[in-house]
Amino acid sequence: MASSSKYKFGLLWSVGFVAFALVPVLMTSRYQMNLASHILIWGLFAVAFNMLWGVTGMLSFGQALYFGIGAYSIGLFVNHAGKAWYLPAIPIGLVAAAMLSFLLGLLVIRVSGVYFTMLTLAFAQLAWQVTFKWYDFTGGDDGIQGIIAPGILANKMVYYYFVLVVVFISVWFLKRLAYSPFGLILRCVQQNPNRVRFIGRSVKMNQLRIYVISSVFAALAGSLMVGVDNSIHTDMLFWTTSGEVILMSVLGGINQFFGPFVGAVILILLEDIIGAKTEFWPIFLGTIVLIFVILFPKGVVGEIQHLRHRLKIAGESGGRHETHASA
């Protein structure tokens, strides 16, 4: 069983990679490649976020902060120190995100549940306010425009493949992490934090570690975004950005590793199709959220798997009932 699912997974992985790799070849417009880049980057962001929520049970409403750090690191260095700083600014941004998430993490993990959610939100909004108000340094509400990646990365096609490779490697790393002993402990932290203490592990320490890791990947996603849009804006730090990855995760399914990625695909395509036709996209989005939260809390991937599982059981034994005990 393990080997067949591994094989299936490898197949899925290759199909996904090839599909995305073919986008520049099959596309009919620049715009489609742009859309595909957005999907890849948001997919990475959402998968990294879900390591916090779906895996560890920490619903952060402030990951936009780190997404913004990744982007603004490049923007600010290029703007204030010169074009040569574009590439060095990426690792600098990642390190900055790691350090900040470590320090803030020490604070926010002191509380749990909704307190955690709201505190992460408050810190991210604080960063947004600073960015918004500090016009001389950050460009305030104007953001920073015309940031061009150096060398061959300035070529949109090359940059697309650059994004593709970085995203796939990152997601692969996170996938390995999810199924490693560390990932197992994280799931245990969500399911029964008390028991985790009684097997000799610190709940807070593990929460802090994944908070830092998830935030660094959020920053990486933010830094990749710069070369796609060639500009950055305070909206990247705004709370709706944090909300977006949460929605992607729910749409796709928070209990499946690839759920959030699928959610990113769905949400971005929907936004592209519906958002173009109406000013009132948020009403649609809000309605979709209500429908999923109330009727399909497992998300698209989760509900499909659930259905397949049910069909399989019905096929095997003529319908056996499942009981689900809670913790």
Partner 1 sequence: MKPMLRLEGLRKSFGGLRVTDEVSFEIQPQEIAAIIGPNGAGKTTLFNQITGYLAPDGGHVFLEGQEIAGLTPQKIVKMGVGRAFQIASIFPDETALDNVRAACMSKLNQTRHLWRPVERFNRATEQAFAVLASLGLERQADRMAYELAHGDQKLLDIGIALVLEPKLLLLDEPTAGMSPEERQLTRQLIKQLWAQYKLTLIFIEHDMDMVFGIAERIMVLNHGALIADGTPGEIRNNKEVITAYLGEEA
Partner 2 sequence: MDLYFIVTQLISGFTMATLLFLIASGLTLIFGVGNIFNFAHGSFYMIGAYFGYQLVSVWKVNFWIALVAAGTGAGLVGAAAEFLFLRRIYGRAQEGGFQILLTYGLILIFDDLVKLIWGTEYKSISKPSGFTGALQLGDIFIPTYNFAIIVIGLVVVVAAWWILAKTRPGRIARASAVDREMLGSLGVNVPLVLTVVFGLATALGGMAGALAAPLRSVTPGAGIEVIIDSLIVVVLGGMSNFWGAWLGAVLLGEVNAFAVAYLPAWSTLFSYLVMVVTLIFRPEGLFAPTRLRKV
Applying CB under 8 A, the residues found at the interface with partner 1 are 2, 176-177, 179-185, 187-188, 191-192, 194-195, 197-202, 206, 322-327
Among residues 290, 307, 311, 314, the one that binds partner 2 under rule CB under 8 A? 290
Report how far residue 210's alpha carbon sits from residue 310's, in angstroms, rounded to the nearest whole number: 33
CB of 59 to partner 1, least distance (A): 17
Pick what 290 binds: partner 1, partner 2, none; C-beta below 5 to 8 Å, kind-dependent. Answer: partner 2
Is residue 283 close enough to count as binding partner 2 by CB under 8 A? yes
Cβ nearer to partner 1, comparing 156 with 201? 201
Measured in Å, how far apart are the chain's first and last C-alpha atoms?
27
257 neighbors 47 (Cβ within 8 angstroms): yes
Of the candidates 244, 254, 245, the one whose C-alpha atom is nearest the C-alpha of residue 282 is 244
**Angle value at C-alpha 188, between 185 and 194, nearest 5 degrees:** 115
CB of 119 to partner 1, least distance (A): 24
Pick what 200 binds: partner 1, partner 2, none; C-beta below 5 to 8 Å, kind-dependent. Answer: partner 1
Could you tell me what percentage of the chain is helix, strand and coil, using 3-state DSSP and rounding each to the nearest 5? 80, 0, 20
How many chain residues interact with partner 2 (CB under 8 A)? 40
Report how far residue 34's alpha carbon sits from residue 131's, in angstroms, rounded to the nearest whole number: 26
Is residue 133 close enough to count as binding partner 2 by CB under 8 A? yes
Report how far residue 164's alpha carbon sits from residue 182's, in angstroms, rounded to the nearest whole number: 26
Report how far residue 268's alpha carbon sits from residue 270's, in angstroms, rounded to the nearest whole number: 5
Among residues 94, 121, 147, 164, the one that binds partner 2 under rule CB under 8 A? 121
Q: Tokens for 187?
A: 């799931």
Cβ nearer to partner 2, comparing 227 with 263? 263
Number of other CB atoms surrounding residue 17 within 10 Å: 14
State the amino acid at position 156 in one-letter form.
K
Is residue 125 close enough to count as binding partner 2 by CB under 8 A? yes
Cβ nearer to partner 2, comparing 166 with 268? 268
State whether the Cα torsion 22-11-262-161 is positive or negative.
Answer: negative
Question: Residue 144: beta bridge partners?
Answer: 232
Is residue 22 close enough to count as binding partner 2 by CB under 8 A? no
CB of 196 to partner 1, least distance (A): 8
CB of 256 to partner 1, least distance (A): 13
Cβ nearer to partner 2, comparing 14 with 278? 278
- Kindly list the residues in this chain that would bind partner 2 in the complex (CB under 8 A): 53, 57, 59, 61, 107, 110-115, 117-119, 121-123, 125-126, 129-130, 133, 239, 243, 246-247, 250, 280, 282-283, 285-290, 293-294, 297, 326
